[in-house]
Structure formats: structure tokens, C-alpha cells
Amino acid sequence: MTEFIFNEPDLRDEDLRLIRDQVRRYVNEMIIPNGEAWEKAGMVPRQVFRDLGKLGLLGMRHPVEYGGSGLGAMASVILGEELGRGSFGGVTAALTVHSDMSIAHIAHRGSPEQKQRYLPAACAGEKVGAICVTEPHAGSDVAGLKTRAVRDGDGWLINGSKTFITNGIHADIYIVACRTDPTAKGSRGISLFIVDRDNPGLKVAHEFEKHGWRASDTAELFFDNMRVPADALLGEEGRGFYYIMSTFQNERLVAGAMSVGQCGKAIELTVDYTRQRQAFGQSLWDQQVVRNKIAWLAAKSAAARSLVYSCAQMIDEGRDTVREVSMLKAYACETLQEVVHGCLQLHGGTGFIVGTPIERMARDARILTIGGGATEVMLEEVAKRM
């Protein structure tokens, strides 16, 4: 097969080069051969988390003293991009939600006791995390969430529900956003709590059957007078919205990295297919209109990739990147739609058959313009800062 990989950025850090090699090897040896089985099972096996934990890939952004590697945003980009090249979006989602979107809250805002209790097992892949923000009536509008947490003696009582929760079925650690001050307006009065899987007030209602990302389990959760201790509060009371918004920047960065990885894989598959497929006495690749279409998709993918790496560098330099990351999330994820559907078109009828990589990638790609902040919301974030 033709291997299409964009020119690698100048990774001067040996650790980053090693990370890319490790993830790429694992994708080729384990994820691509087994991904179809995981899609049918509707989940990523625990052993995959343990494997990546042993390689040090699940705690790259987390403190060294708790089992992490203490690296920066560039490490998350490399992980997301290389997993994206594996062509199984559900696998990528399950792993990155754990490493970069849920457990990250504990790494950044947890007390020393919370970090010691949860991070070593999470970095090792022995425990899996989920982030619980979205509700039936509050998705991109985080400030509109209604799940309540009220003080109860020396703890809290939580009531409400969450929906579309990735890793919701099999997670061990849930980061749950709740409204703790009903009198506060909008984004104020929201707090985060750490909830263990075995809490008797937690009910996993059902698992969704999804259009794409079929290897990641996605659930609806209910909290019925769920009692958590006082030390389940994560960070400061009432600061949850700001914590979520901060972590969203990394989630959107990783979504962009996933997108460009998938773009590269889709182009690789399509170049290979069009060079083999014969039509009208020649290969599809020999037809200029086909070559030019693929070249154009490759150019847009390369532009998105440059934006991803630029944003990662800005984050690692400690700069404010809300505008740039919002641009990135919108542009990279919309570019992915154009790329995978353009590539599917060039596969002809083959691209419409369930089980072919390009068909699966087209399904998986759709959620990336919705999850983590819809494109329309991202463009508003850009417009506010113009």
C-alpha cells in the first residue's frame, strides 16, 4: 500500500519522536488488525488501555510524581494524530477521552490526595476515565446544565442526568459537572466532582447505538440521590465552568489532531485505490481530474495540520489560544468532512460498502464537527475575538 505521511515537523525533543514511533507501531500492529472486532463488540478492551499505559502514553501530560511524563501539548497532538491514522475513530475517542479530557481534570486541579488516589492507576491504564458534562438540554451550552449537587452533612447529594458520555459504560472514574449554586446565573455556580463507578447512586441507563465511533461505548447516566464525600469536590467550588472551558482547549486541539491523522489515512487509501482501479482503459489515477482532486484535499489537510502544530506550540509557550484553537477545531474538523467524503466519492460503489475503511471513516468523521464544541459555536468564539 502507498504510505502517505505528511513531512514530519522538526521534533527536536527525543521523547516526542519516541512517542510518535511507539504510537504508530501500536496502531499498525494492534489497532488496525483488531479494530473491526472491537467495533462489533462496541468497546475497546481493557488490555488496550493497559498496553498504552505500559508504554507511558496515557499520562503524558500528567505530573511525573503520579505516574505521568510531564510533557506538553505537542505530546497530545502526536497521540491524537497517530491514533487518527489508525482509521478507527471510536478507538481514538475512547483513549483520548481518558487521557486528555477526563483524567486531565484531576491532574490539573486535584488535591495531592486525589492525585495520589486516581492518577497512578489512570496513567497505567488500570482505571478508565469519563467526563460527564453534556445533558439532554445542555450540550455546547455548558452554562445551561441542570444536574444539581447540594450539601448534605459532610458530603454532597447529586441528582440529575448526563447523556452521550464516552466511556460511560466501562469507566471507573467519572468527572461530573453539577450546579452547586442555583441562584448563580449562567456559568457561575458550577462545580466538578469525582465519582467512583461503584457509587450506589450512579445508574448507567443504557448504551447508545451510534452512527459512527462504534468501538467507543457511549452511555446515558442518572444520579439518584447519589451521595459523595466532601473530598469528591474537584478544585474550588463554583469554578467548574472555567475548568471545563480550559480543558476544552485541549479537547479541541486533540480533535484537530485526530482530524488531520484521519485526513492523511483517507488520502493514503484513496491514492492506493485510484492507482489500482481501472476505468476507461486506464487507472483512475491517470485521469487528471482525479489526481487534482486528491492533491487539493492533501493541500487542505496540510494546512489544517500546520494549524494544529502551531496551536500546540502556542499552548506550550503559555499563550492565550482560545481564538486560534477555536479556528483550528472548526477548520480541521470541517476539512476532514470534505476529505473523507471526497475520498469516498473516488472509491465509487466500494466506498458505500460497510466494512471498507473509507466508509467507516466517513461515518466516524461526522461527530467531530459536533462534539467538543459545534463548528457554529467555534466560529462564534472566533468572532468574539475579532
Query: Which residues are known to be catalytic?
Result: 251
Beta-carbon contacts of 195 under 8 Å, excluding residues fewer than 6 positions away, are 132, 158, 173, 174, 175, 176, 202, 226, 228, 232
Grid cell 492507482 — which residue? 275
Beta-carbon contacts of 19 under 8 Å, excluding residues fewer than 6 positions away, are 57, 60, 75, 78, 79
Q: Which three cell numbers stand for residue 256?
A: 484537530
Q: Nearest-5° angle of CA 192, CA 56, CA 118?
A: 30
Q: Which three cell numbers stand for residue 320?
A: 492565550
Cα separation values, 33 from 28, 39, 54, 123, Å:
7, 12, 20, 25
Cα separation values, 49 from 53, 302, 314, Å:
6, 30, 29
